[in-house]
Amino acid sequence: MAPLPPLPVSPPPFPAGKTIAIVGGSVLTVSAQGNLDRGTVLVRDGKILAVGRELAVPAGAVVIDASGRYVMPGIIDSHSHTAIEGGVNECTDVITAETRVADVVDHRDVSIYRQLAGGVTTINALHGSCNAIGGQNAVLKLRWGRNPEDLFFKEAPRGIKFALGENVKRSGSRGPGQDARYPGSRMGIEAVLREGFLKARAYRKEWTDYEAKRRAAPAGAEKPPPPRRDLRLETLADILDGRILVHAHAYRADEMLMLMKVADDFGFKVRTFQHGLECYKIASEIARHGAGVGTFIDWWAFKMETLDAIPYNPAVLARHGVRVAVNSDSDELARRLYWDAAKAVKYGGVSEDEALRMLTINPAWMLGVDRYVGSLEPGKQADIAIFSGHPLSAGARCETTLVDGQVYFDRAKDLAARGAVAAWAPLATAGGAR
């Protein structure tokens, strides 16, 4: 029997101190620098050194020839459930703010690699939507082949999943014989939110008073006992203090207005409305509140609260000054988010530059990481996607994806390696591979 070919492995990392030069491509910077024909992007130690035309390439640099291709910032998916252990919809209580997606990240999820093949470099892995306030999210870099702790976007602030509407009141998810769980109405969802934050205010005051007494105690005196720690209320208090970004699953305009009123009453902001298919009805109110919207371009009518969806939603919001992103909520759709951005050009006539912002700098802002990614600018992390054509064209495909200046997807090497995978497949199916 002929020896089997070696299985493919990830490309070897570029060594520290080595400059990478991406040359000859059309560079879509998504910054004030605009688009550059036959531009150059210089990268070293995971950061962008320079972006421009006719830049000198240092001697000994690793050159990636992007001639005839388009170079853009890595795509950011602001609503994902990739790389998450199967059960991340903690439905047993209406508030589960103490739970954390970060505790169950699955670094082996093959969707990570598949999304790299679509130019995606960062995702917002969210808790499910069966609670008014669910668990805390995890912002991940798609460093395929690395350990779980290597996936975390360490500079990203904490975030949490809220939800409104049918999922929370369990309109279609309560099985035969299941007990009803409060709330069972849209009114009840608002009551839950207000009650939770009133408790969090009281909890925060309890700890503030304790700290004041502890500091005021004379030297050598017995210190007062601390309050009992409550991880749920502690998280809600951090929301009130602006330490945690709120990502709210919502569809209906009336409910989103309600949540913004609750947020205003308690002194925090909604960072994003996720899905937000009726956001076009309240675009001015969302702009005044300062929230962003991560939405679908053409998903609708899959339940009652989505019946008023229109493909012009992103365009209407963008014209009102709202930061808009197209996101997936789907392992499959995430690989083709650039197509959804292109649809926003068709339905509503947004500019190509605005459509690119919906894939990059806008979702970066939503996740609180726009200082680090979302555009090709010196000093930012080198998350870069290289496409065969303009990424908003129907025939374009991603050729190469870099995260932190390292190649994690190379289409040419992927195609070359498929023969090796095919040779090993019969053994794996038969259980012969160990």
Residue 104 has pLDDT above 70, yes or no: yes
Instruction: Quickly state the pLDDT bin for 231 (edges 50, 70, 90).
Output: very high
Q: Is the pLDDT of residue 292 over 80?
A: yes
pLDDT band at 51, cuts 50/70/90? very high
pLDDT at position 385 is 98
Q: Where in the chain is the domain with CATH 3.20.20.140?
A: 75-368
Taking alpha carbons only, the member of 88, 91, 90, 303 closest to residue 181 is 91
Output the pLDDT for position 433. Answer: 41
Question: Distance from CA of residue 297 to its chain's centroid?
Answer: 17
Among residues 365, 236, 352, 234, the alpha carbon closest in space to that of 293 is found at: 365
Q: Where are the alpha helices (DSSP H) in 217-328?
A: 231-240, 253-266, 283-289, 313-319
What is the value of pTM for the model shown? 0.93
Quick one: average pLDDT of 395-410? 97
User: What tokens appear for 185 in the block?
Assistant: 């109405």
Q: How far apart are CA 256 and CA 250, in angstroms?
A: 7
> Where is average pLDDT lowest: 216-230, 281-295, 304-318?
216-230
Burial of 376 (C-beta count, 10 Å sphere; 0-12/13-18/19+) = buried
Percent of the chain beyond pLDDT 70?
92
CATH number of 75-368: 3.20.20.140
Q: Are 405 and 20 in contact (CB under 8 A)?
A: yes
Of 101-115, 238-252, 410-424, minimum mean pLDDT range: 410-424
**What pLDDT sits at residue 78?**
98
pLDDT at res. 226: 95
Q: For residues 102 and 320, what is the distance between their CA atoms, to the nearest angstrom? A: 35
Tokens of 413: 């090497």
Reported as a pLDDT band with limits 50, 70 and 90, residue 176 is: low
pLDDT at 432: 44
pLDDT in the model for residue 431: 52
The whole-number pLDDT of residue 9 equals 53
For the segment 194-210, what is each residue's pLDDT rounded down to a tens digit? 999 999 999 999 999 99
183 upstream amide cis, omega within 30 of 0: yes
Domain with CATH 2.30.40.10 in the chain: 1-74+374-434
pLDDT of residue 363: 98
Give the chain's mean pLDDT.
Answer: 93
CATH 2.130.10.10 fits 1-74+374-434, yes or no: no
Total number of residues shown for the chain = 434
